[in-house]
Amino acid sequence: MGKGYPFNMEYLNINFDMITLFLILIASFLCALSERLNGYFYKSIFRHLNPHFWNRRQSYNYCKMFYSYPLDAWFYIQVLKVVFICAAIVLYSPITIPIVDFFLYAGAWCFNYDVFYTGILKDK
C-alpha cells in the first residue's frame, strides 16, 4: 500500500501529490461557471445556448424538478463541484506543510475563479 491510499497505486507510477490542487482548480472553474450561469447568463459565452436549460432564472419553469430543485445546468454543475471538492479532500496528499497547503489551495481557487469568471466565461 502506498501513501495511505485505500488501494495499491504504486504499479500505476503516478505522482498523486498534486492531485488535490488539480481537483481544487476544477472545482473553482465549476464555481465560476455556475455563478456566470446564475446571474449573468446573457453576458456570458453561453448566451446562445438554450436558456430553458442553461439559464437558471428561466429553467425553473421548464426543467424537471428534484424535490424543489430544477434539474438544469446549474444543478448539475453544483453537484460536480461538490464531487470534486470531496475527491480533493479524500485524495489529499501534502505538498508542503498543511498550513502552507491551505493557503496554496485558497490562492489557487481565488486566482482560477477570477480568471474564468471575469475573463474567459464573460462575453466580450
Sorting pLDDT into bands at 50, 70 and 90, what band is 95? confident
What share of the chain has pLDDT > 90, as a percent? 33
Is the pLDDT at 80 greater than 90? The verdict is yes
DSSP 8-state secondary structure symbol assigned to residue 54: H
Give me the pLDDT at residue 6, please: 59
Residue 123 pLDDT greater than 80, yes or no: no
Q: Rounded CA gap, 36 and 14, in Å?
A: 34
pLDDT of residue 74 exceeding 70: yes
pLDDT given at position 1 = 44
Is the pLDDT score of 33 beyond 50?
Answer: yes
Label residue 109 by pLDDT band (50, 70, 90). Answer: very high
Per the rule left: phi > 0, alpha: psi between -120 and 50, beta: everything else, 119 is alpha
Sign of the Cα pseudo-torsion (83, 89, 91, 93, in order): positive
pLDDT of residue 9: 57
